[in-house]
Amino acid sequence: MEKRFVPVMITPFNLKAKIDFDMVERLIDFYLAAGVSGFFANCLSSEMYSISEDERLELTAHIVRYVNNRVPVVATGSFGLTIEDKAEFSKKIYDTGIDAVVLITGHFANVDDSDDILLKRFDKMFSLTPNIPMGTYECPAPYKRILSAGVFETLLSSGRLKYHKDTSIDLDKVKEKLQIANVPGFDFFDAHTPNAMYSLQMGARGMSSISGNFYPEVLVWMCNNANDPSKQEDVKWLQSELTRVDPLIHQAYPMSAKYFLQLRGLPVRTISRAYVQELTPAQKEVLKGIYDSFTQWCSRLNITPVDTRGIMEPQILPDPAI
């Protein structure tokens, strides 16, 4: 089965901290040129907790229109105080044209609630949203609710799930879920880049990690080659490199990703509603070092980095005589 890389999209903002929709389009062009096979819009990387309900819908609808069926798009829908509220918003965001509505596991039970409560609320959600394809995501916020293998199997048996984004990190737990997830039409994605090689070799459909907002071409290469017997030396080497830098790119995220994209030639402003501080000079130096590593990875693996100049509209520069 073809493996897929699906980025968790960042949201670019203009100088007034409003969504920069022109830059959203350039980012989509960048991701697609890198070879991604789908998009996760309105996610934690999109700063979904820092934008309004109307902005979540407007942003998702814009992404769907611009992608224009070239690859699937999923987006988070489980917003609201009650299950009824979550169902209503899920219907609204599904009407934007996405392929599946993603439900945050931590939205359906408090941290000390039992799995029985979690399952009852999911069951109610399913009953209120008939015929809408659903996915689950163990999002770190409001807190990370990891699904046990038993809960995962129960939810999967409902027939409503088409997608799961896993943040277990623990490879034994990932393996246990993957053994359950071997269901036609169901896609299992690992969010943890240090798991990439291992999850892909154990049967994951693909990866969906924040590293795709730095070097998506490299993650696409990993998805394409993790199971190629002739590429195992390079696969293991790349995995060690990705694991080495992964804790570093998480610092000050998503600002770190926006700055890294600047290094790559995309004029994404380092403006974030979720991370209000500026990057320090030391953080910028670390990211520059990772950029140097990225160019070395591409050289060794014969990866052609996306030419960002080719996806930017020509800029009209002022006459130097004026």
Whether the CB-CB separation of 36 and 7 falls below 8 Å is answered with: yes
Query: Distance of CA 242 to CAs 125, 147, 161, 178, 219, Å?
Result: 37, 26, 30, 22, 9
Give domain status of residue 207, yes or no: yes
Query: Distance of CA 308 to CAs 219, 221, 263, 302, Å?
Result: 18, 18, 10, 18
Instruction: Record the tokens describing residue 74, joined without a space.
Output: 């999923």
Question: How many domains are contained in the chain?
Answer: 1
Query: What pLDDT does 312 receive?
Result: 76
Query: What pLDDT does 230 receive?
Result: 98
Give domain status of residue 293, yes or no: yes
Using the predicted structure, report yes or no on whether residue 281 has a pLDDT greater than 90. yes
Q: How far apart are CA 290 and CA 208, in angstroms?
A: 20
Instruction: Record the tokens describing residue 68, joined without a space.
Output: 């224009």
CATH number at residue 212: 3.20.20.70
What's the predicted TM-score (pTM) here? 0.93
- Residue in this structure with the two tokens 């990439």, named with its chain if needed: 196
Task: Band the pLDDT of 313: cuts 50, 70, 90.
Answer: low
Residue in 39, 57, 37 with CA at minimum distance from that of residue 48: 57
Using the predicted structure, report yes or no on whether residue 320 has a pLDDT greater than 60. no
Using the predicted structure, report yes or no on whether residue 317 has a pLDDT greater than 60. no
Per residue in 225-240, pLDDT (tens digit) is 999 999 999 999 999 9
Per residue in 285-312, pLDDT (tens digit) is 999 999 999 999 999 999 999 999 988 7
Using the predicted structure, report yes or no on whether residue 154 has a pLDDT greater than 50. yes
* Mean pLDDT on 120-135: 97
Per residue in 51-93, pLDDT (tens digit) is 999 999 999 999 999 999 999 999 999 999 999 999 999 999 9
Could you tell me the residue range of the domain that residue 179 belongs to?
4-308
Give domain status of residue 91, yes or no: yes
**Phi then psi dihedrals of residue 202, to 5 deg:** -85, -5
- If one compares 172 and 320, the residue with the highest pLDDT of the two is 172
Q: Average pLDDT, whole number, for the chain?
A: 95
Query: What pLDDT does 277 receive?
Result: 85
Query: What pLDDT does 307 receive?
Result: 95
Residues comprising the chain, all counted: 322
Report, as residue numbers or ranges, the catalytic residues.
137, 165
Percentage of residues in the chain with pLDDT exceeding 90?
93
Instruction: Record the tokens describing residue 307, joined without a space.
Output: 């030419």
Instruction: Record the tokens describing residue 230, joined without a space.
Output: 């002739």
Give domain status of residue 153, yes or no: yes
At residue 102, the 3 state secondary structure works out as: strand
- Paired with 75 in beta bridges are 41, 101
Give domain status of residue 320, yes or no: no
Give domain status of residue 317, yes or no: no
Using the predicted structure, report yes or no on whether residue 203 has a pLDDT greater than 80. yes
Give domain status of residue 87, yes or no: yes
Using the predicted structure, report yes or no on whether residue 283 has a pLDDT greater than 90. yes
Give domain status of residue 165, yes or no: yes
